Copies of this chain bind each other. A is one copy, B any other.
Amino acid sequence: MSIAEKTLKTERIYEGKVINLRVDTVELPDKKYSKREIVEHPGAVGIIGISNEGQVILVRQYRKAVDDFLLEIPAGKMEPKEDPLECARREFKEETGYSASNFHFLSQCYTSPGFSNEKIFLYKAENLFKGIAEPDEDEYIEIVKIGFTKALAKIAKGEIQDCKTIMAILMAKETR
């Protein structure tokens, strides 16, 4: 039976722009001890936008952490106390220029619960209308529109390497 771990000590290692790092010393059920390295994250949203022609709106961007260009759904981190749906509307507009009259909640889940509290809220956006993108000043984003069937094929071929994007496409398929 799994039991919650009592924190005996917290060591704060780093306070950053996006993440913080702390190391907790915890007591295990058998009175042994262990260290838990924990990355604190404010939470994020991801939006699978589907155009009126049935195309999926993706973004391609360089990701320093993996040193590669990834094809992803538009996404971004939440501001303090920001409502996830409001954040989704904001990020979708900023990154792609699109607004949507229909946001449908798909899922909320932890991306890496073994070492981080990052939770991502996923939405499907439909009934799109185009405006002007306003990405953050350190974001360089290319918009890529592909048909839904092609998106599924890209998952099967391993050409989409981002977990939240794979998840959002498969969940959007479930709710079509």
Q: Which residues of A come within 8 Å of B, CB atoms? A: 1-5, 7, 13-14, 16-19, 21, 23-24, 26, 28-29, 32, 34-39, 41, 44, 60-67, 69-70, 72, 75, 77, 107-120, 137-138, 140-142, 155, 158, 160-164, 166-167, 170-171, 174
10 pairs, CB–CB < 8 Å, chain A vs chain B = A2-B61, A13-B13, A13-B21, A19-B39, A39-B116, A63-B110, A109-B161, A112-B118, A167-B167, A170-B170
Instruction: Report Cα–Cα, A110/B120, bound state, in Å.
Output: 14
Q: Which residues of B contact A163 (CB under 8 A)?
A: 109-111, 120, 163-164, 167
The residue from B107, B113, B137 contacting A65, defined by CB atoms under 8 A apart: B113
Stoichiometry (number of copies)? 2
Instruction: Report Cα–Cα, A32/B139, bound state, in Å.
Output: 11
Instruction: Report Cα–Cα, A117/B138, bound state, in Å.
Output: 19
Q: Which residues of B contact A111 (CB under 8 A)?
A: 111-112, 163
A29 to chain B, nearest CB (A): 6
The residue from B3, B36, B109 contacting A162, defined by CB atoms under 8 A apart: B109
Instruction: Report Cα–Cα, A162/B116, bound state, in Å.
Output: 12
Instruction: Report Cα–Cα, A110/B160, bound state, in Å.
Output: 10
Q: In the complex, which residue of chain B has the Cβ closest to the Cβ of A138?
A: B34
Q: Are B21 and A36 closer than 8 Å at their CB atoms?
A: no
